[in-house]
Structure 1
């Protein structure tokens, strides 16, 4: 059956309309963490996380070209992707803001390579920084998973510009 084009179709160059359309896709919420050579921890919120391959185990996420932490994540050897649980919206907000020390008062353990794993995360993936692909206004990061763990619990998702707690385990 043939129907007419929906009435809200816009020019793909209308970035606000494009963002609004993308916001209808619910995504998981992660905090990506690493450590500088100086020992300082770096972390940021990312909603662009996805699986790539089971063999070898690969995941991806992306980071905007204008992000202050881009040089850190492009050059680090390893990082941890912390998948946030429903009760961790405060951490998503904290690691998304520009504050001096995002780790102050945050509970975490250290991975095998000394990287922060956030306490209470639903899952985490310690990755070797395998590949980086500049694309548009972001860099796509591919990580080879070396270690991971899971603590099944409701997840935190991002939908329509807001953090939303799920009740799905």
Structure 2
């Protein structure tokens, strides 16, 4: 099976869009766009996301004790694009506030799951990062930003 064919087929599954945030060893707030987020368990409260092994911020995320999964709203497409680019992960001050455990919370996200690292697992060309949800905040209104077939979309 060809890699591009598989990628296109996987793109037929609509996902939400998140910005995963943490801080570097130097306490610099960083964020990266991801759509590889999933719920794992309610008891205990566990979620996961996948980090590409050749990511330019691999070391920062693989070593992070705390990270946040910020689920974006349909109004945040530009923000998603900004933190999806390689080498563009330093968060701008106007885009976040500090979270309860130190990792940045993206302003106006639909939901933010503040997580403590629970486990990591090798998953081919990705590292699967499992977090225990320690805190969460959410907006009562708003529509999710979706990704499908290589493009952004929203619910109608």
Structure 1 unaligned blocks of 5 or more: 1-12
Of 29, 41, 56, the residue aligned with 1:41 is 29
TM-score (norm 2): 0.94
Count, aligned residues? 155
Change (3 A) 1:160 1:79: same
Q: Mapping of 1:73-112 within 5 angstroms?
A: 73-100=61-88, 102-104=90-92, 106-112=94-100
Greater relative contact order, per chain length (Cα 8 Å cut-off, separation 6+): 2
TM-score (norm 1): 0.87
Structure 2 unaligned blocks of 5 or more: none
What displacement does 1:43 show? 0.9
List structure 1 segments (4+ residues) > 2 angstroms apart after TM superposition: 98-102, 104-107
Asked whether the equivalents of residues 126 and 148 of structure 1 are also in contact (C-alpha less than 8 Å), the reply is yes
Separation in 1, partners of 2:71, 2:46? 15
What displacement does 1:102 show? 3.7
Separation in 1, partners of 2:2, 2:11? 14
Of 133, 138, 144, the residue aligned with 2:132 is 144
Range 45-54 or range 92-101, more displaced: 92-101
Q: Which has the larger radius of gyration?
A: 1
